[in-house]
């Protein structure tokens, strides 16, 4: 059941990224790291997900490169 909710959240994230003229198979976090790793947006996203993992945007980008999302 946990995987189901995670997959739904990732799909919503990818939808929002697509609506913002991004790659439909990329999350906002991965896009933020790829385009602007030193931006305030990246810092905010990393802070929001700090309970989950350190350097969330960078790790999301790395997972995108491996095709894990």
Q: What is the mean pLDDT of residues 33-62?
A: 93
Integer-rounded Cα radius of gyration of the chain: 11
Domain extent at residue 25: 2-66
Q: Encode pLDDT of 7-31 as tens digits.
A: 898 899 999 999 999 999 999 999 9
Instruction: Using the structure block, give the residue that is written with the tokens 């385009």.
Output: 35
Number of domains in the chain: 1
pTM over 0.95? The answer is no
Contacts of 48 (CB under 8 A, 6+ apart): 56
d(CA 47, CA 56): 9
Q: What is the mean pLDDT of residues 42-50?
A: 95
């Amino acid at each position: 059941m946990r995987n189901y909710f995670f997959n739904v959240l990732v799909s919503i994230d990818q939808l929002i990224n697509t609506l913002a003229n991004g790659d439909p198979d990329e999350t906002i976090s991965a896009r933020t790291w790829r385009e602007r790793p030193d931006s305030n947006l990246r810092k905010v996203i990393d802070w929001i997900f700090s309970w989950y993992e350190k350097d969330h945007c960078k790790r999301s980008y790395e997972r995108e490169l491996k095709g894990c999302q």
